[in-house]
Structure 1
Amino acid sequence: MATFGALIKTNKFDQALELFKTLMNNEGTPRHAWTYSKALGAAIKLNKYSLVMEILRHLQDHDVKIPASDYTKILTSCMEAKEWALALSMLSAMQNQGMQPSSSTLNLLVTGCGKDTFWNMVIEMYNGTPEDLRQLLDEKALGAVLLAHSQAESEEFQLRTVEICNVHKKTGESFPYQVAMFAVLEANQYSEVISLAADAASQGLEVTPLMCRSVVMAHIRSGSMDEARQLLEENARRMSNVSVECYRELIHHYAEVCSDRLEACKLCVLMMQNNADVNVDDWRSALELALQLPDRAIYWELRKWLRLHGGVPLNELREHLLLPEDNHQLDSAASLQ
């Protein structure tokens, strides 16, 4: 053991690990917790992650207990290396020994996994965290937990965002509601979206643009078009640049389901007025619809907004959609006759 300690002290990690593996495989060797801690640290420094897992399994198999502070150091090293699977294994080993990470370590781990979109790991960590420690999740970590559930393919996990939101809503932030509303919208639970919005408002929380968007989409998808349009009109300024999808679904409904092209075209104009980020396909559809009307007034209104938007490459629009500007005068004169 003295030789192992000396090798670690002089940063001869490769030699130290070779010696440790020999000691580890010798059943007669005493199991000292400090040697496992040092070996784990050395293996991580050398990026020998498979060896880290081997040492960790050996530690658990022989019921060697290392201090929580050593687990925390190793966890931190795993996080710095973005070895999230290894960090999760380390967390699990720590918890199996009856220890829990500090709230700051847990927040960093959950946030890091969420940032790199390891959603399953985020869910697994949240499920394995005691209730008292869950209450100490900061905004970023809680956001990762909610997003992880909302991104899950399982409807059960999507709906669980409401439960998590209710547990954490005393944070006094709109964010838990915002993510929960998005998740239940994707799970087709439209009345739940509207209930969550009402609950947030009753607590005096800001109803964010994305929360408004979810409510409008819930009304559209449940067939309440009048309510959806009224909400869009009342919140046009608040929802600036996040209402495109709402308009798309309304336009499709009026154009394809109701065969009301005039109403669809009016909505196209509103979409362009209230959103700067409108893609080329939206412009193609809008101009195509407007050209099907007997009156060209809405078409030229759209052309005005196309010019004001400025960032749309005209060469990506089909030639027949771009009438010569001279025709505008002819159309205006014809409408006065």
Structure 2
Amino acid sequence: MVKLVLMHKAESIYEDEPDAVYDFPRSYLKAVQDAIGDWIVYYEPVKAGPRGYFAVARIERVIPKPGAEGRYLALIQPGSFLPFDTEVPRLRNGRPLEESLTAANGTPLRGGAVQLAVRRLPEGDFARIVDLGLPPELEQMEATRFNPEPAALREEPLTFKRPVIERLTRRNYRDVAFRRKVRDAYDFRCAMSGLRLRNGGGRPEVQAAHIRPVERQGSDSVRNGLALSGTLHWMFDRGLISIAEDCETILVSRNKVPGDVVDRLLSPNGKLHKPEDPRNSPHPANLRWHRENIFGQIMPGEPVPWN
């Protein structure tokens, strides 16, 4: 097995869905097949946008692309995709993070490997990029992010640096990374009520909800997330509310949710408040899955928070 960098351009002819599938030509088939079962880093080139290295995932298998001669699909292992907390630029202090793109004097190379859409990534380069994008201390960073206690009064915690792969596969760490990305994408505003509430210490009330649950092969992509208040999160997970095919109209199970509850909790226009960056908006396929598999499926007799 071998780790790779996969170049992703949102407007290219290749139909990538980074958390599900990577579309590539035959010329890269051998390299991608060698990476089956291993991890990759996604990279957005400078001409396509500012993100640089922006996520990790693991390749599960490779298949020919149906109806497209000479094209292949790398299928991403469900539950492996994780966006970086901080997107990582290609250069650090003027030097590339990939040794294969670095000249002997430390300056960036031009042409050649730089232009490859699929590049082999040594273990050391992989660990360095992931540590920058998903820091080992991310959980501690989140735990103290909105802590009103003055820094001088806090004891410095002992930080245990877990190996990179253990970190990427540990559910608690992934939940923290997902929560940070989703709440930031929605600017800490509930997508269904439109409210941005904070407690006395400044801690946001809004939570991060998976549209398609991880245990049902949902990903940790921001596009599989919604920022929701606690009650609306509960209602969404239990199928009392969902999002229509237009990806913005809020659906309500009217026979289960009283009208006055709808009036108090949801935006008056009944529309979803989306992230400012359209690349973070809920993916239509995830919303469709929720409508078809969760909406209206609440278990009878389950207690509700408004009784």
Query: TM bucket by the smaller chain?
Result: under 0.3
Specify the structure having the higher radius of gyration (Cα): 1
Instruction: Work out which structure has the larger RCO, using CA pairs closer than 8 Å and 6 or more positions apart in sequence.
Output: 2
Task: Tell me which protein shows more strand as a share of its residues.
Answer: 2
User: So what's the TM-score if we normalise by structure 1?
Assistant: 0.22
More helix, by proportion: 1
